[in-house]
Amino acid sequence: MQQTGYHITAELRVKDKRRLSEAKAALVTLCQNTVGESGCSLFSLHQCLDDECRFLLWERFENEAAFNQHFREQHTIDFVALDLTEIVQYFRSDVVIK
């Protein structure tokens, strides 16, 4: 069952293909840490089948405040500091049909 909330779909691209394994491992760690945040119930990583350097993050936070708090968490700050990926695009959404 889908829950209403603050949903994000983010498309990321690995900046340097030579660092793909490192980036994927860092993304997995980021997901594991983020889903433990208060206010986060989904932080799921998907890798594109047509381009291994592209990833999608499916995220669900209770509200925008919880989403914004995510960027103040040390594990997020540490991931961003690695400079392995860039955001291609992202979408904010909510569930239409529950």
pLDDT tens by residue, 36-79? 999 999 999 999 999 999 999 999 999 999 999 999 999 999 99
- 59: which strand partners? 8, 43
- Please provide the CATH number assigned to the domain covering 7-93: 3.30.70.100
Domain ranges of the chain: 7-93
DSSP state of 49: S
Assess whether pLDDT exceeds 80 at residue 1. Answer: no
Q: How far is CA 12 from CA 34, 51, 57, 82, 95, in A?
A: 16, 11, 8, 14, 22
Assess whether pLDDT exceeds 80 at residue 2. Answer: no
